[in-house]
Amino acid sequence: MPFSFFHLLCYITIIFAEVDAVNEGASKSKSKLRLFVFGDSYVDTGNWRKSIGSSWKEPYGVTFPGKPSGRFSDGRVLTDYIASYLGIRTPIAYKWRKEVKRSNLEYGMNFAYGGTGVLDTLANQPNMTTQIDFFQRLVEQKVYGKQDLNNSVALVSVAGNDYATYLARSTHNLQKLGDFTKKIMDQLEINIDRIRGLGVKRIAVTLIEPMGCIPLQAASSSYSNCTQALNLGSKFHNQMLNQSLQNLNAKDNSTVFITLDLYDAFFSALNKFTTHAPGSLGLKPCCEGKEMGKYYCGSVDESGAKLYTICENPNLSFFWDTLHPSQNGWHSIFSSLRSSLHKLTT
32-73 pLDDT tens trace:
899 999 999 999 999 999 999 999 999 999 999 999 999 999
pLDDT in tens, 161-204: 999 999 988 666 777 889 999 999 999 999 999 999 999 999 99
CATH of the domain at 194: 3.40.50.1110
Contacts of 69 (CB under 8 A, 6+ apart): 45, 46, 55, 56, 60, 61
Catalytic residue among 73, 162, 324, 326: 324
Residue 317 confidence (pLDDT)? 94
pTM assigned to the model = 0.90
Q: Is residue 19 part of a domain?
A: no
Residue 129: how many CB atoms within 10 A of its CB? 15
Q: Is residue 321 part of a domain?
A: no
Is residue 32 within 8 A of residue 151, CB to CB? The reply is yes
Residue 10 confidence (pLDDT):
43
pLDDT at 150: 95
Domain annotation covers residue 90: yes
- Whether 121 maps to a domain, the answer reads yes
Q: How many CB atoms lie within 10 A of CB 147?
A: 11
Number of domains observed in the structure of the chain: 1
3-class SS at 260?
A: strand
- Structural domain for 84, as ranges: 34-280+338-344
Asked about 41 being catalytic, the answer comes back as yes
Residue 244 lies in a domain: yes
Q: Is residue 328 part of a domain?
A: no
Catalytic residue among 321, 326, 331, 336: 321
Domain-embedded: residue 165: yes
Mark whether 44 is an active-site residue.
no
235 lies in some domain: yes
Does the active-site annotation cover 321? yes
Where the chain has pLDDT below 50, the residues are 1-30
User: Maximum Cα–Cα distance for the chain, whole Å?
Assistant: 61
In terms of Cβ atoms closer than 10 Å to its own Cβ (0-12, 13-18, 19+), residue 273 is buried
